[in-house]
Structure 1
Amino acid sequence: MAHIDYYFTVLSPYVYLAGTRLEQIAAGNGASITYKPLDAGALFARTGGVALPDRHPSRKEYRAQELPRQARKLGMPFNLQPAHWPVNPAPASYAVIAAQSAGGGDMGALISSLGRACWAEEKDISQDEVVRACLSAAGFDPALADKGLLAGAETYAANLEEAVSRGVFGAPFYIVDSGQRFWGQDRLDDLDAHLSGKL
């Protein structure tokens, strides 16, 4: 069975736009997934990336066109300038880590719900009540938002170190146990083709 390590930040619009396609691709190819939320700001700083406020105007202008264009292509609601972004991603990330450890729910639905809350529903995903609602909607115990904070913090930090060591430099980023790496929601078709032996 193939395995995918999925590195992401809950704040990324591109992670939101990925929706649950990764889970569909994994299911279609008999692959498993490990979810590895991390601090994208720290990842950028260590791998040559540039935070959005510091990017050249041309890059910002392209982003302002590309994100709504991709959302329209995918039929997903999208707000380029959400009311609550950026916010502290740690609480939602710790909840994702706790949910993966606990099991019993739908991880893809959880990641998608957090992204939708930020980028389409004008909700603050750093707030406990929003995180609890996302956990519940994905079939997890909402109390996971209050559990395993120390373990979550340790795993969150370890995910960053692992990502840097494995060549991750953006989000979403997918690494298959074959060693093939795929960056961006617009490379999910390539990931699918690779897993099915076509690429």
Structure 2
Amino acid sequence: MGRTVDYYFVPQSPWTYLGHERFAALLRETGTRVRVLPMDLGRIFPLSGGLPLPKRAPQRQAYRLLELRRFSEALGMPLHPEPQFFPVAGDPAARLITAVALHDGDDAAMRLTGAVLAAVWTQQRDIASLEVLAQLLAETGLDAERLVQSQQPDVQARYDAQTQAAIDLNVFGAPSYVVDGELFWGQDRLDFVARKLRA
């Protein structure tokens, strides 16, 4: 039995987008399994002192845009710092990713997660739209039935449980990676995740 990383994120996070493909490559390189665990930051922020983007101080909002541009350029990853559909509700996509993880496994959920993140940050699509989510399922070769299943009580219960698990682990932002009980927050901490997995 190899190691497993618990991957906590929200599907509308630019930082999750910037780290996702590097994280996926690290998993492949190290032969590490992943548990794909979308969470509801709307429940976590009030407990952790976090603020949704529109409520943050202007200085913090401005610096966020600067950092997004810096990381986009440094990583060679296209990104619209202020995409057309943002802020956007992440719950529909999070439940869909949860349904895919449940029925198709974590590798399929990783594939869909990458497509959802790119839809927001490079393609400027509305991931709160059920039509867009149906398109993303088709584009990633996944069963259209997952969209219906994502709206069922068992998937909502699983999504709620994932959020509670994140709270219990002191997760407070996205993306967060948990390895052997140790928390790493942010795509700029992937080097530390790599060290942990290679140790």
TM range (shorter): over 0.9
Please state how far the C-alpha of 1:41 moved relative to its aligned partner: 2.2
Give 1:19 shift: 2.8
Which is further off, 86-95 or 135-144?
135-144
Task: Please report the TM-score for the alignment, with normalisation by the length of structure 1.
Answer: 0.92
- Letter paired with 1:31: T
Instruction: Give the equivalent residue in structure 1 for 2:171.
Output: 168
**1:37 maps to what in 2?**
38
- Give SS of 1:126's match: coil
**Which residue of 145, 148, 156 corresponds with 1:146?**
148
Unaligned runs of 5+ in 2: none
Alignment-derived partner of residue 157 in structure 1: 160
* 2:79 counterpart letter in structure 1: F
SS in 2 for 1:124: coil
Q: Residues of 1 paired with 2:196 and 2:115: CA distance?
A: 27
Pair 1:100-2:134 in alignment = no
**Which piece of structure 1 moves more, 101-110 or 127-136?**
101-110
Instruction: List per-residue Cα deviations over 1:152-175 (Å, max 9, x = no partner).
Output: 211111111111111101000000
RMSD of aligned Cα (Å): 1.5
Q: Could you say which residue in structure 2 is the equivalent of 1:129?
A: 131
| Alpha-carbon displacement from aligned partner over 1:167-193 (angstroms, at most 9, x marks no partner) | 1010000001x2221101111121011
Tell me the equivalent position of 1:89.
90
Among 171, 175, 187, the residue aligned to 1:185: 187
Question: Which deviations, in whole Å up to 9, do the C-alpha atoms of 1:79-134 show, x marking residues without a partner?
Answer: 11111112221211111011111116633221111011111111100111211222
**Partner Cα distance (1:75, 1:36) in 2:** 26
Q: Does the alignment pair 1:26 with 2:2? A: no
- Percent of pairs with identical residues: 34
Equivalent AA in structure 2 for residue 159 of structure 1: Q
TM superposition outliers: structure 1 runs of 4+ over 6 Å? none
Give the match's secondary structure for 2:72: helix
Please say if residues 36 and 110 of structure 2, whose CA atoms lie closer than 8 Å, have aligned partners that are also in contact. Answer: no
Q: Is the 8 A contact 1:7 1:172 kept in 2?
A: yes
Q: CA deviation at 1:148?
A: 4.3
More deviation, 122-131/106-115: 106-115
